[in-house]
Amino acid sequence: MWTLVLTPQLRCVIELVAGVGAGIANGIAGGGTFIAFPTLLSLGIPALVANTTTTVGVVPSYVGGIRGFRTDLRGHRDLILSLVPSCVLGALVGCGLLLFFPPGAFRAVVPWLVLGGTVLFAFAPRISARLATLHPSGRGHWWGLRIGIALCAVYGGYFGAGLGIMLLAVMAVSLPFELRELQGLRNVLAGLTALTSSVVFLVRGHLVGSAVAAIMVGTLLGGAVGTMMLQRMTPRTVRFVIIALGLGTTVRLLV
């Protein structure tokens, strides 16, 4: 794989900028992993380490999203608490699959995860529009919701690209809420999944500390900016860049 040869200072700047871009993407439309992950790959960081470093680095991006949707999250405290076990246990299983299988296994499967996440992300507006028309009634689907969230969390603990739209899809078919409320819940659950995974990765290692720090600062800033931009602009351009990076990363990993 072609890599960049850069000074540590310039690498830090690139990682910081990638973090800002990832934070903005997560704040507007999700998919920040598709910006941070290929950036770390281009800097010569192995795929497994780039994945864990990205997971930890993008955690702050969810802070802005949660704050931006705090009005829509009012009244859903009990629901969120009821889904915490699903997120935590699922993320732990995903981390276990990632860390205890040989690195080569991750290397073999990650291109297809990136491709699948990219395709899912590309069709997210159509999926969301379709799911927004569904209004499940009553208190059914609760077990389906919990199991679905847990499976999403397993994926999020393993890789995570496209996790947001997966969570949105599961909740949209299980909860009779408006799409904006679901987006707020998605931010909370995705953030919880990423936070749980980050604790595991911090304990187990497999991180590039300088990259984690730079991306975390960038995603904190970018997440706040992206949330503010959400009400003022269309995410079409951001989505195009994310999809292009996802496809490019898939090709690079396969080659």
* Residue 254, both tokens: 């396969």
The closest alpha carbon to 57, from 192, 200, 216, belongs to: 216
C-alpha 17, offset from chain centre: 17
The closest alpha carbon to 23, from 188, 199, 253, 228, belongs to: 228
Q: pLDDT at residue 238 above 80?
A: no
- pLDDT, residue 138, reads 44
Report in angstroms the alpha-carbon separations of 110 from 25, 37, 51.
21, 11, 9
Q: pLDDT at residue 124 above 80?
A: no
- pLDDT, residue 184, reads 86
Q: pLDDT at residue 161 above 80?
A: no
Q: pLDDT at residue 112 above 50?
A: yes
